[in-house]
Amino acid sequence: METYPVKLQIRLDWSEMDMFGHINNVSYFKYIQASRVNYWDAIGLSRLFKETKVGAILASTSCNFLKELHYPGSITVQVKLDFIKNTSFGLKHQILNEQGEVAAEAKDVLVMFDFNKNEKVAIPEEIRSAIEKLQGL
């Protein structure tokens, strides 16, 4: 069984429904974004960006929709490392409904970026170490 070390509870909002009465697919990407930022906070990436303007940019994201979500309700979005390279890393997300069923799975590819120099950079050692510790690697 896969372990997702970072989890986020989100309340579904009535305004996220589409004309078919279920949560619109666009909202899933908002949940994935919240999960991504939650992971960044957990590994110190948000703090690093504020201090140095070195952070991550989203190179790609994808989502497979498996089950409908409905208002009222809440979800759990969980995230884990998918891969780590020299300048990039990937995240894997799962959106769980209130019954704990996987409603969607998503993947991100992030590239470390120095916004001062406007170029990609190697993943800083402190971030790599924080990821490894969080993931139990």
How confident is the model over 27-65, as pLDDT tens digits? 999 999 999 999 999 999 999 999 999 999 999 999 999
For the residues 61-85, what does the mean pLDDT come to? 97
The DSSP H or E segment spanning 126 is: helix 125-135
Q: Tokens 């070195």 label which residue?
A: 54
CA distance 47 to 15: 32
CA distance 106 to 119: 26
| Lowest pLDDT segment from 15-19, 84-88, 105-109 | 15-19
Reduced to 3 states (helix: H, G, I; strand: E, B; else coil), residue 18 is coil
The CATH superfamily label for domain 6-135 reads Hotdog Thioesterase (3.10.129.10)
Ordered by start, the domain boundaries in the chain are 6-135
